[in-house]
Amino acid sequence: MICILSFIISMMDAYEIASTRLPSSLCIILINWIGILSAMGCAGILVYIMVVY
């Protein structure tokens, strides 16, 4: 559940920053992508646990 929330928040941050400041937003979008990937990994681990148990 926390993973999904962090995923949504990071996506919203990426869109908000991209709409306001494009040049300086690239680094922040990269940071957000790292957060999105970690959130996807967390969700994948949760699905794996649900499937195994």
Number of domains in the chain: 1
Which domain range does residue 35 map to?
1-52
The CA distance from 53 to 43, in Å, is: 15
Which is nearest to 45 in space by CA: 13, 12, 2? 2
Kindly report the backbone phi and psi dihedral angles of residue 4, in degrees, each rounded to the nearest multiple of 5, phi listed first: -65, -40
Residues 6+ apart with CB under 8 A from 10: 32, 35, 36, 39
- Answering whether pTM is above 0.85, one says no
pLDDT tens string, the chain, 53 residues long: the values are 566 777 777 767 766 666 665 556 666 777 777 777 777 777 777 778 778 87
The pLDDT value recorded for residue 17 is: 62
What pLDDT was estimated at residue 53?
74
Residue 24's pLDDT is 61
